[in-house]
Chain A
Amino acid sequence: MSNILEIRDLTVMFGKSIAVHDVNINVPEGGIVTLIGSNGAGKSTTLNATLGIVPMTRGTISFNGEDVTHASTSEKVRKGLVLAPEGRHLFPYLSVYKNLILGATQRKDKEGIQQDLEFCFELFPILKDRLKQKAGTMSGGQQQMLAIARAMMANPKLLCLDEPSLGLAPAVIEDIGEKVREINRTKGTSILLVEQNVHLAFGTASYCYTLQVGELVAEGTVEEIRNNDVVKKAYFGG
Chain B
Amino acid sequence: MKQPVLKGKLSLLILCVLFFVLPLALNSRSWVDLFITIVVNMVGAVALRLIVISGNLSFAQGAFMGVGAYTAGMLAVYLNVPIWLSIPAGAIMATIVGLITGWPFARLKSVYFSMGTMFMGQALMLMISAWPLAGGALGLQRIPSLTSALSGVADVLHLKGYQACYYLIFLLALFCLVIMYRMEHCRIGTTLRALAQSEEVAASIGVNPTFYRLLAVGTSCFCMGLIGGVQSHYLTTISYSSYGMNTTLWIIMYMMIGGTGKFVGPLYGAIVISIVQGIANLLTSLSGSSNNESFVAFAHWLGANSAYTPFLTAAVLLVVAYLLPGGLVGIPDTIRANRARRAEKKEAAEIAKGGSK
Could you tell me which A residues sit within 8 Å of B by CB distance? Answer: 51, 53, 72-74, 76-78, 82-83, 85, 89-94, 97-98, 101-103, 105-106, 117, 150-151, 154
User: What is the CA–CA distance of A76 and B220 in the complex, to the nearest angstrom?
Assistant: 30
Contact between chains at A89 and B201 (CB < 8 Å): yes
Q: A94-B190, A98-B190 are in contact. Are A154 and B197 (CB under 8 A)?
A: no
Number of interface residues of B (CB under 8 A): 17
Is B207 in contact with A102, judged by CB distance below 8 angstroms? yes
Bits for B56-88, please: 1 = Cβ < 8 Å to A, else 0: 000000000000000000000000000000000
| A92→B194 CA distance, assembly (Å) | 9
Given contacts A51-B204, A91-B201, A93-B197, contact A102 B190 (CB under 8 A): yes
Q: Is B204's CB under 8 angstroms from A53's CB? A: yes
Collect the chain B residues with CB atoms within 8 Å of residue A73's CB: 203-204, 206
Report the nearest A residue to B205, measured CB to CB: A103
9 contacts between A and B (CB under 8 A): A53-B204, A73-B206, A74-B207, A89-B200, A91-B193, A91-B202, A102-B205, A105-B187, A105-B205
Q: A74-B208, A117-B1 are in contact. Are A102 and B203 (CB under 8 A)?
A: no
Contact between A150 and B205, CB atoms less than 8 A apart: yes
Add 16 more A-B contacts to A73-B203, A93-B193 (CB < 8 A).
Answer: A53-B200, A53-B203, A74-B207, A76-B206, A77-B205, A82-B205, A83-B205, A91-B193, A91-B201, A93-B197, A94-B190, A94-B193, A102-B187, A103-B205, A105-B206, A154-B206
Separation in Å of the B103 CB from the closest CB of chain A? 16
Query: Contact: B197 with A91, CB < 8 Å?
Result: yes
Of A74, A82, A91, A150, the residue contacting B203 (CB under 8 A) is A74
Return the contact of A94 from the options B197, B204, B208 (Cβ within 8 A): B197
Q: How far is the CA of A126 from the CA of B304 in the complex (A)?
A: 65
A4 to chain B, nearest CB (A): 18
Closest chain A residue, CB of each to CB of B207? A105
CB-CB < 8 A to A103: which residues of B?
Answer: 205
Q: What's the minimum C-beta distance from A83 to chain B, rounded to whole angstroms?
A: 5
A74 touching B206 by the CB < 8 A rule?
yes
- Residue in A93, A117, A154 whose CB lies within 8 Å of B205: A154
Mask of B1-29 contacts with A, CB within 8 angstroms, 1/0: 10000000000000000000000000000
- Asked if B207 and A92 sit within 8 Å, CB to CB, the answer is no
Closest to A81 in B: B206
Determine which residue in B1, B194, B197, B204 has the highest number of CB atoms from chain A within 10 A of its CB, and name it. B204
The reply to whether B194 and A102 contact each other, CB–CB distance below 8 Å, is yes
Shortest Cβ distance from A165 into chain B, in angstroms? 19
| A91-B207 contact in complex given A105-B187, A117-B1, C-beta closer than 8 Å | no
* Given contact pairs A82-B205, A150-B205, A105 touches B200 in the complex (Cβ within 8 A): no
- Provide the residues of chain A in CB contact with B231, threshold 8 Å: none
